Structure formats: structure tokens, C-alpha cells
Amino acid sequence: MPSLSSISTALQAVLTHSQVLEITGHNVANASTPGYRRQTAILTAAIPTSINGSDYANGAGQKGGSVSIDRIHRFNLAFFDGRYRSISAETSNWEAQSEILTQLEATLAETSEDGLLPKLDQFWAGWQALSSDPTNTSLREVLLDDAASLATAFNRRVEQINLIRSDQNLVVGSHVDQINSLADEVAKLNAEISHVLSVGEQPNDLMDKRDLALDELANLTGAVSSEQKNGEMVVSIGGHVLVVGHDAFKLHTENNAGMSDVYWGDGQQLIPTSGKLKGTLEVRDVVLPGQLSGLDTLASNLITNVNNIHSTGFGLNNSTGNAFFTGTDASHIAVNSLLDGASIATSSSADQAGNSEIALSIAGLKTTKTMGVTTMNEFYNAQITTLAVTTQRAADNTYQHGLVAKALSDQRESVAGVSLDEEAANMAKAQKAYQAAARMLTAFDDLLDLIINRMGRAGI
């Protein structure tokens, strides 16, 4: 006759393998969920009991007590997470730089006819043409138009670069909001996870959510994290704590000379070590100001040298002492509004319409090293070349770091990701065990039916 413990053993097996099927189904359901780490039930034999109860002397030993779930294991490799977040943050840094620099290159349009170098060449060519025929009024008007186009090109580039810089203020503000939100989420999850662990359970899904938030924080700022004994994560950026325990330390932006800088609550400025925020700030505060400074230097040199020569010459109407350009930098450079075609100085002396010494001197500025060891054209060409190299380096680093990040992500997925083929095999295995345990219950039910309902009824 089957004992109650035998029925309990079969029942416990049915219940346990039913839970295994539920865990497998949970994996399958979340196969495409970002950040999900697969789980598996760790089975263990239940506590055995003596065959003869407390009468150990007459017993033949112990019998098994069925099966139970010891814990639900979450597949995760912490050192993979650290490596992946580090390279992912560096990839995001270069990617942010590449995006802004590509936008800047498109704005400058130096590979087209609208580039500043073609306009400079056209300006010098205008003076050269006028030196060949200084009395030609048409050439004078063309020169004025080319000079105005050159000045506008300076103005527009400064305006566009400043616009790109101001746009990055919005990006920085958005990143700060994201960081604060993610920090709050990690702090909240820390509290929930430590509570679940304290009662002896495994908060696998909560850990998945926290790891996903930590991945995003690393992408934004290069944040690093370390797990404490109670299961909580301490998160820091550049050595400054962002999250500790249940507390998150908020960031905010402050306006400094029109630019949004990021500060901690204690007044210390945030200097991100990597991530999108670092890339954004690097271009906004280093590369773009460098371009503006170069434009201002070139425009100032052009204004000074052209005006110094032009103001000593005479126009067709014998006007002299006139500045050709007004303004002092790339933002304000413009053709003198008081200047007309007849007032353009081409002659070195009055009443000498055919004299073209001034026009030749200004045209000669194209090949004169007025910028120290370079000409104006060479100076700007070097600036654009440096920008092109910087942009290409950002694109190359984005690609190279991206390859490493993908390789690490694939490695992490190979350990922690869900394989539907593997889950199907696990499901079949659990299903067979469930069916076998259920068949045991059926067998015990048949035996009990025989004993209770049919024994002692011979001949019926």
C-alpha cells in the first residue's frame, strides 16, 4: 500500500517541475526584453527521512524526500558588466563628438564653392583683376560684391558655430535630467533589492532593471559601480558619489557665459571621464571655441592688413584714408558702407587713374606670410585640415570602440542572454519530469482504489 510520504513525494515533484516550467516560460517571454538575464531553477533533493521513522535501530536507512527548488539562479558575470560599461562609455564619448563634428563640417561646407577658402581666393583674384585695369568700374563693383560675400561668409560661420554650441546646452540639460532620473531609479532599486535579499529571496528581475539603468548611466557619464555585501550598488562619476544606498545625489546646470555647466549639489563641477556628456562638452567647450578663435584671428588679420594698405591709396575720385573693412573680428567684419566703386583705392598717388600699386599690394597679401609663418589662406587651410582630422579620428574611434563593445556585448549575451533553443530543451526536460511525477500519482491512485474499493470483494 502506498504511504502518504510516497504520495507527498510525487506531489512535490509535480509542483516543483511545474515551477520549473514557469521559470522557463518566463525566460521565453523575455527573450527580447532589453537587459533581461536568463534564470534557471537550481533543484535539490529534499531532506530525507528514516524508513522506520524514529526507530533508527531497525531501519534500513533513509529514503528521499522528493525534490525542491533551492534557488532561482540568475546568469550574470559582474566582470563582463564592468568591461562592457567602460568600453561602451568610451564609444558613446566618441560617437557624441563625431555627430557634432559632422554637423559642423556640413555647416562650414569647405569642400564646396561656398567655402571660406574659395571666397578668399575670389577676393584676391578680384584685386588682381582690378590691378590689370584699375579704371574698370565693372571690376570695382564685382570686387565690392566679392568682398561682401567674404565678410558674410565669416559672419555666417560664427553664427552657425554659436548656434551649434547653444544647441549643445539643450543636450547637456537633457543628459542631466536623464542622469538624475536614472540615479533615483538605482537608489529605489537598491532599497527593494536589499529588502528582498534580507528575507532570503532572490530579486532577479529587480537586478535586471538596475543593471540596465547602470548601463545607461555608464553610456552617459562613464559612471562606475560596485556592489556592497547587502546587494546595494554604489555608483560614482569621476570619483564623486552619485548613488549610495537609498540616496541619490542630484546634478544641476548653471549658466556660465552663456554655456550650461554641470555641478553637483555641493558646488563641485562635474568633469565626466567618459560617455556622451564628456563628448558633448569636449566639442562644445574645446573644438568649437577653437574654430571661433581661428576665424576671429583670420578676420582680424585680413581687416588689419587690407585696411593698412587701402587707407594709403587713392580711388578714382581721389578719395583717400578710407578703410576697406569695418569691424575687428569674424562676427563683425563687413565692407565699409561708405565705400563705393569709385572710392576703392588702387593708386598710390592722386590723379593717377592708371596707377595700380595699391591693388597689386593688396592682391599680394595672398602670398604674404602675414600670420607668422603662414599666409592667410594657409592658416585657414591648416585650421580646416585639423578639423577634418579631428572629425575623422572621432569617427574611427567610434567604429573601433563600437566593435569592441559589440564583442563584449555578445560575450555577455552568450552567458546571460536567452537562447530559445536551449529553453525549448529545458522545457521538454521539465515536461517529461512533470509527466513522470504525475504518472506516479496516477499509479498510487490506482493502488489506493484497488485496496479501498476492491479488496475483500472476491467473486464480484
Q: Which three cell numbers stand for residue 74?
A: 540568475
Note the pLDDT of residue 45.
85
> Which residues 6+ apart lie within 8 Å of 162 measured at CB?
292
Cα dihedral 31/275/79/179 (nearest 10): -70
CB 79, CB 88: distance < 8 Å: no
Same domain, 53 and 155: no
Note the pLDDT of residue 1.
47
Same domain, 148 and 124: yes
> Which residues 6+ apart lie within 8 Å of 62 measured at CB?
48, 49, 50, 51
Does residue 166 lie in a domain region? Answer: yes
- Reading the chain (460 residues) residue by residue, the pLDDT tens digits are 455 667 778 888 888 888 989 999 998 999 988 989 999 988 888 777 766 655 455 555 667 777 888 888 888 877 788 899 999 999 999 999 999 999 999 988 887 888 999 999 999 999 999 999 999 999 999 999 999 999 999 999 999 999 999 999 999 999 999 999 999 999 999 999 999 999 888 999 999 999 999 999 999 999 999 999 999 999 999 889 999 999 999 999 999 988 999 999 999 999 998 999 999 999 999 999 999 999 999 999 999 999 999 999 999 999 999 999 999 999 999 999 999 999 999 999 998 988 999 999 999 999 999 998 999 999 999 999 999 999 999 999 999 999 999 998 888 888 888 889 888 998 899 888 888 878 887 887 677 777 777 666 555 5
Q: Cell 561708405 sits at which residue?
A: 338
Same domain, 387 and 439: no
Same domain, 423 and 338: no
Does residue 255 lie in a domain region? Answer: no
CB 271, CB 285: distance < 8 Å: no
Residues 88, 36: Cα–Cα separation, whole Å:
18
Does residue 398 lie in a domain region? Answer: yes
CB 315, CB 342: distance < 8 Å: yes
Same domain, 93 and 69: no
Nearest to 80 by CA among 419, 398, 405: 405
Same domain, 166 and 301: yes
Residues 132, 140: Cα–Cα separation, whole Å:
12
Residues 149, 116: Cα–Cα separation, whole Å:
10
Does residue 217 lie in a domain region? Answer: no
Residues 157, 115: Cα–Cα separation, whole Å:
10
CA 122-126-129 angle, 5° bins: 130
Three-state DSSP state, 457: coil
Task: Give 142: exposed, middle or buried? Use CB within 10 Å, 0-12, 13-18, 19+.
Answer: middle
Residues 397, 400: Cα–Cα separation, whole Å:
5
CB 188, CB 247: distance < 8 Å: no
Q: What is the sign of the dihedral through the CA atoms of 434, 439, 440 and 441?
A: positive
Does residue 259 lie in a domain region? Answer: no
Same domain, 325 and 426: no
Same domain, 304 and 391: yes
Same domain, 36 and 166: no
CA 295-299-304 angle, 5° bins: 150
Report the number of distinct structural domains present in the chain. 2
Does residue 220 lie in a domain region? Answer: no
Q: Cell 576697406 sits at which residue?
A: 324
What are φ and ψ of residue 236, in 5° steps? -140, 155
Same domain, 290 and 424: no
Q: Which helix (H) or strand (E) holds 456?
A: none
CA distances from 354 to 133, 347, 358 (A): 8, 7, 11
Note the pLDDT of residue 110.
85
Does residue 243 lie in a domain region? Answer: no
Q: What is the sign of the dihedral through the CA atoms of 90, 93, 95 and 101?
A: negative
Does residue 61 lie in a domain region? Answer: yes
Same domain, 398 and 277: yes
Same domain, 157 and 283: yes
Q: Where are the beta strands (DSSP E) in 126-175?
A: none
* Structural domain boundaries enclosing 15: 4-75+417-454
CB 331, CB 297: distance < 8 Å: no
Residues 328, 366: Cα–Cα separation, whole Å:
20
Q: How many CB atoms lie within 10 A of CB 182?
A: 23
CA distances from 159 to 138, 154, 275, 332, 432 (A): 31, 9, 28, 11, 72
CB 186, CB 228: distance < 8 Å: no
